[in-house]
Structure 1
């Protein structure tokens, strides 16, 4: 029986039961794709990350319970957290991840972890009327940003109150709803992310969505550094910096489970 070192981490959180839970598996060698997908389905979290040591850093892949994805922020944050926690990186040493989205890096910044990801920019793709209707909202603006639709709403309350029809949204790209922050908080903007097409109705806190939101709100707020909140039930805070074709976003992480995943 093979034993895989296994961790569950609440990413974008400074306490357990908040943020976005991700599983992290430390591998000696690559596993077959079907095995990694089966492990991710068994975990039944929005993402399971698989890490393999390389001479120049670490290979990193991400799986939802149903598919492999090309980019995932919270599971990358969780992965970097585990590498420092387990002594695979020394304190202050940068993490280098080789992924389907190219080289991604992570650095420690006090008790925050800052990730360097590719920025996503708006394109002219139009959101299907049926998908927009499934949100049952009054949109201020609708944009498409490479991998998902961004639907801007008028208020924070509108974001919280949105109750989508996930059966309809399952047929479309990922959807992010967002609004400017209000005077009751320090947040520049808030958001929620829906991805039923990937087996995740609502993702608790989504790093990759902030690659889109950073460019979207940087232009509208005329700011390059912003403080954001993803307003899911679990919730999570994200520090965001837009730097040209890159987005730096930072969060905290807490390990909640560790042990072994047993493969027969």
Structure 2
């Protein structure tokens, strides 16, 4: 019987029971993909992050309960929180490497953890019936990025009160759907739905802000932005647009340290 350490961290949260929970498993070496997926399915969180130390960096992978994904911001923040606070990492910057998304860094800045991710590339698409049938309110603009759709609405109230049709959304060929509008008290607000990836609504989606940040930076004419993801748990983010890179900042809070028993 092998024991595997597991942490659960609330990411983009200033207190426990807010933000987005992610599981983190530090590994000495990679387990089989089947075991990684089964651990993520058993955790039943939006994402579980696994990492292995390789030379001066950490290779990282992310799994939802049903699939491996290309990029996950909140679980990367959670992994960095674990390294900085519980796994004896003493430097001020962590270099992660994802086989699917390249180099990703996380820097410690007081209580904030600053993710540095590649900016998404996206283009405007038609507002097809397939897209608009997913919500009870029609968006005014639609864009398609590397993995997600971005739908722009008129107001924060629309984002807060919108009713998703998950069956319709699950038929869209994408990781998920970001909806957004200009914020009342912050620069922009959003929500994120990914039924086709095993997550109906994600509480806080760091990777979605690689699309949201460049969009709103250009719309608002500023490179430093504040954001709230308006899920039930809510997430608070600070974002910086650096052209081909995006910085996404937030806090993490420890919820759980445990052990998995693997036969």
Please give the TM-score of this superposition, normalised by the length of structure 2: 0.96
Does the aligned pair in 2 maintain the 1:123–1:146 contact within 8 Å?
Answer: no
Instruction: Write the distance in 1 (CA, Å) between the matches of 2:212 and 2:145.
Output: 9
Cα shift at 1:106: 0.2
Q: Which structure 2 residues correspond to residues 5-154 of structure 1 after superposition, within 5 A?
A: 5-90=5-90, 92-99=91-98, 100-154=100-154
How far did 1:127 drift?
Answer: 4.9
Q: Which runs of 4+ in 1 moved over 4 A?
A: none
CA distance, structure 2, for counterparts of residue 200 and residue 126 of structure 1: 25
Two-structure CA RMSD over aligned residues (Å): 1.1
Q: Deviations over 1:82-108 (max 9, x none)?
A: 001124311x52111110200100001
Contact kept? 1:13, 1:251, Cα under 8 Å: yes
Q: Is the 8 A contact 1:112 1:252 kept in 2?
A: yes
Does the 8 Å contact 1:152/1:179 carry over to 2? yes
Give SS of 1:53's match. strand
Aligned to 1:257: 256
Conserved 8 A contact 2:236-2:250 = yes
Note the residue ranges of structure 2 that are not aligned, 5 or more in a row. none
Q: CA deviation at 1:124?
A: 4.0
Q: Is the 8 A contact 1:21 1:45 kept in 2?
A: yes
Residue 163 of structure 1: how far off its partner (Å)? 0.9
Q: Distance in 1 between matches of 2:62 and 2:146?
A: 19
How many residues align? The count is 260
Q: Is 1:127–1:144's contact at 8 Å kept on the other side of the alignment?
A: no
Give 1:129 shift: 1.4
Deviation at residue 218 of structure 1 after TM alignment:
0.7
For residues 220 and 124 of structure 2, the distance between their equivalents in structure 1, rounded to whole angstroms, comes to 21
Conserved? CA contact 1:126–1:144, under 8 Å:
no
In the alignment, structure 1 residue 170 sits paired with structure 2 residue 176? no
- State which drifts further: 116-125 or 246-255: 116-125
- DSSP-derived class of the 2:78 partner: helix
TM-score, normalising length: structure 1: 0.96
SS at match of 1:71: coil
How far apart are the structure 1 equivalents of 2:147 and 2:33?
23
Q: Is the 8 A contact 1:122 1:216 kept in 2?
A: no
State how far apart, in whole Å, the 1-side matches of 2:208 and 2:23 are: 19
CA distance in 2, matches of 1:126, 1:203: 25
Instruction: State the alpha-carbon separation in 1 of the partners of residues 58 and 125 from structure 2.
Output: 35
